[in-house]
Amino acid sequence: MYKYIFFDLDGTLTDPREGITRSVQYALAKMGIEEPDLTKLEVFIGPPLVDSFMEYYGFTLDEARQGTEYYRENFSVCGWCQNKLFDGVKKMLTDLKEHGRVIAIASSKPEYFVEKILAYFEIDGLFDYVCGGSMDESRTRKDQVIEELLKRMNLSGSEKKKILMVGDRRHDVEGAAVFGIPCLGLSMGFAAEGELIQAGAAAVVDSVEGITEYILKGAGSYEME
């Protein structure tokens, strides 16, 4: 059924907890806010940074943009590689490729950092397309990223029906739904309990191996032509 697989990055393929939370902590300190509890900052993993600064710390739009600049000061130096590839990800991606799937990244993280991270973990060669957010904040929401990815892929109407999004937050589910794309949720990421189902995920799996099972043997099975 699904030929084109769009993957979120943070919380889906990698555990970016340390790099993101420490970079948010750094940004908050620059804005005069001391936050010693890194676990409180895990809510920043997944959504656009500007939105999170406004939602969780009451920043104005200008303040949120300044906070994002401070965040990137730290993230660009060390935060991007304070990251771990989830066990089994490389095998999962390899198996999907061997079964003829076209694999893409659709991440709100700036594309520059997405490409660095994929190369760092030596999985960049497994992706047919990589699309991330923009540094100028003009493309940060998941629906904006997916829209750009669809433009780059230039798929016909019938081929678009063979797309599956895979992500760990409601933003992945809701962003994909804008284009009628179903989303497979991954509960081992950073979603609150019940978040993915409430957002409308087609299904939820609890492991990287579960992604492979769903796509190749479950509801997403598809005989390649």
Spans of all domains in the chain: 4-15+83-217, 17-81
Instruction: Say if residue 120 is exposed, middle or buried (CB neighbours under 10 Å; 0-12, 13-18, 19+).
Output: middle
Residue type, 108: S
Which residues of the chain, if any, have pLDDT below 70?
219-225
pLDDT at 1: 83
CATH 3.90.1150.10 fits 4-15+83-217, yes or no: no
CATH topology of domain 17-81: DNA polymerase; domain 1 (1.10.150)
Cβ atoms of residues 207 and 86 within 8 Å: no
**What residues contact residue 156 under an 8 Å CB cut-off, 6+ apart?**
none
> Could you identify the residue written with the tokens 């060669």?
125
Give yes or no: 128 in active site: no
Angle (CA) 129-43-52 rounded to 5° is 80
Among residues 8, 10, 168, 172, which one is catalytic? 8
